[in-house]
Structure 1
Amino acid sequence: MLDDFMVRAALAGLGVVLAAAPLGCFVVWRRMAFFGAATAHAAVLGVALSLALSMSVFAGVLAVSLLMAISVTLLSHRGYAMDTLLGVMAHSSLAFGLVAVSFLTDVRIDLMAYLFGDILAVGRTDLGIIWSGSLLVLGLTLWRWQPLLLATVSEELAHAEGYDPQRESLVLTLALAIVVAVAIKVVGVLLIAALLIIPAATARPFSATPERMALIAAGLGIISVLGGLWGSWNLDTPTGPTIVCVAAILFALLNTIARFERGGKSD
């Protein structure tokens, strides 16, 4: 069955969204949308370094993403404004990555595949990496769910319960870095943040509890992946962007419905 490239693509997409959904909820709650984009931009530098050093692209992207996550977490507690810090690091790492790629004259590289993803080219090894990383992130998120929630709601409350908010922030940023590394093959560095944010933002108006929001976001992510694959196959469009387009359509449609429902109740 895995010889069918569409089945492999679907499994890869599902592996990514199952890990991205709960993390995306924390990104939305903490207003960290720019952080996801910054970590994704840093992945281009990871691609260039891994190719220059003849090492696994996944390992290079993971190393640079982790370095980015740790640096942002540590520097944000030393007086730097978060949005300024993220802006500097995101655009700088992307620029250095693109310049580094231009020096790789002896290496054939499809930069578009890394920028926008190439989910249809996912192989068995890629599937193993994607699912291993996603299950690791999912397990870490479930293990730290309550402390992460408390640190998100109130740092004082987290301290009162015996948790260190800075440590929980580091756990979250490390998990985001792993998701970026495993998702680069699916939607590419420029669309990873969209896959993190849009399903979670779509689920928010329909969620009475954090757990329900994470589950709805996962369901919407699955619909986006399968709908994007179907649309790409039938319309002959790039698959990664099509997946994000489906997620955006769901966001617009469901949020419009939610607004009408709230307006009807107020009347």
Structure 2
Amino acid sequence: MVDDFLLRALAAGAGVALIAGPLGAFVVWRRMAYFGDTIAHAALLGVALSLLIEIDLTLGVFVAAALTSVLLLVLERRRALPTDALLGILAHSTLAIGLVIVALMEGVRVDLLSYLFGDILAVGARDLWLIWIGGAVVLALLAWIWRPLLAATVSEELAEAEGLKPQRARLLFMLAMALTIAIAMKIVGILLITSLLIIPAAAARRFAATPEAMAALASLIGVAAVAAGLSGSWFWDTPSGPSIVVAALLGFLISFVAVRRRTA
């Protein structure tokens, strides 16, 4: 008989994977992998601020990630530095500031490993509600901006000419990413969440014929990776978050080999 905590972990991981699939598709199409890392690093600053001012952890992470996204857009418009340089500055600065704040809080013990690499086996009923309700919000938002975001991925000038407001769509996409990272942090952790966004989408890209098919297939691959990673973690006593990412990597390698054989 399967233990309840394993079922909760599987339900939580599946919920995150379903959100990460379509988001990850846009991350791959728009070459925003480094942006995902930047927002994930900003999550640790959100953790530190949540502990410092005693607010809900998920809310603090979302606010920090969202503010980092808005700051990036503002700095991009000023064109003082290339986008990759801005991302590097924001990623490492927010991570370092978060670590310094945590170190300065006397009398507060923080398990950084659980934030960095996740602790999916500790997911409770409240976390499940948060993941699935938050995930529904993210998917609804993504469905609303799907057409302008897809058009802007092909040509931002054309999307602007058609009146699709690509800049607004991009901002909303960034906020959806921030919310996803906030609710997924407990699953695979700050350092590994970008992997769950990128790897299933990269594997799905080799098989899908349409953008919608790629988004759906990426979600399915992510769910399979969660199930395989949890199984491997249970049988071999390995960390659950990294095990999920390793399972996703194996899925990508299998897709890579399968496509090469089919082409040959």
1:43 aligns with 43
Total equivalences in the alignment: 263
Distance 1:120 1:243 in 2: 12
Structure 1 runs not aligned, ≥5 long: none
1:45 deviation in Å? 0.6
Code of the residue aligned with 1:39 in structure 2: it is I
Q: How does 1:1-267 map to 2 (within 5 A)?
A: 4-79=4-79, 80-262=81-263, 264=264
Code of the residue aligned with 1:134 in structure 2: it is G
Structure 2 runs not aligned, ≥5 long: none
Q: Is the 8 A contact 1:122 1:185 kept in 2?
A: yes
Distance 1:161 1:116 in 2: 43
1:131 deviation in Å? 1.3
Code of the residue aligned with 1:246 in structure 2: it is A
1:29 deviation in Å? 0.3
Distance 1:157 1:114 in 2: 41
TM-score by length of 2: 0.97
Tell which deviates more after alignment, 36-45 or 165-174. Answer: 165-174
Tell which deviates more after alignment, 142-151 or 210-219. Answer: 142-151
Distance 1:128 1:3 in 2: 19
Distance 1:29 1:101 in 2: 36
Q: Is the 8 A contact 1:9 1:120 kept in 2?
A: yes
Code of the residue aligned with 1:94 in structure 2: it is L
Distance 2:2 2:182 in 1: 22
Code of the residue aligned with 1:242 in structure 2: it is S
1:148 deviation in Å? 0.9
- Once the two structures are superposed, residues 218-252 of structure 1 have per-residue CA deviations (whole angstroms, 9 ceiling, x without a partner) of 11000000111111000100000000000001111
Tell which deviates more after alignment, 27-36 or 12-21. Answer: 12-21
Distance 2:66 2:200 in 1: 24
Distance 2:2 2:29 in 1: 37
**RMSD (Å) for aligned C-alpha atoms:** 1.4
Code of the residue aligned with 1:51 in structure 2: it is L
1:99 deviation in Å? 1.0
Distance 2:155 2:68 in 1: 25
Distance 1:223 1:256 in 2: 18
1:2 deviation in Å? 11
Distance 1:3 1:206 in 2: 35
Distance 1:78 1:29 in 2: 25
1:171 deviation in Å? 1.1
Identity %: 54
Code of the residue aligned with 1:45 in structure 2: it is L
Code of the residue aligned with 2:189 in structure 1: it is G
Code of the residue aligned with 2:28 in structure 1: it is V
Q: Is the 8 A contact 1:72 1:85 kept in 2?
A: yes
- Once the two structures are superposed, residues 19-46 of structure 1 have per-residue CA deviations (whole angstroms, 9 ceiling, x without a partner) of 1110100000000000000000010010
- Once the two structures are superposed, residues 132-169 of structure 1 have per-residue CA deviations (whole angstroms, 9 ceiling, x without a partner) of 21111011111111111011111122123211121111
- Once the two structures are superposed, residues 64-105 of structure 1 have per-residue CA deviations (whole angstroms, 9 ceiling, x without a partner) of 000011111221122131100000000010011111111122
Residues 126/2 of structure 1: CA separation in 2 closer, same or farther (3 Å cut)? farther
Residues 3/260 of structure 1: CA separation in 2 closer, same or farther (3 Å cut)? closer
Distance 2:20 2:193 in 1: 9
1:13 deviation in Å? 0.6
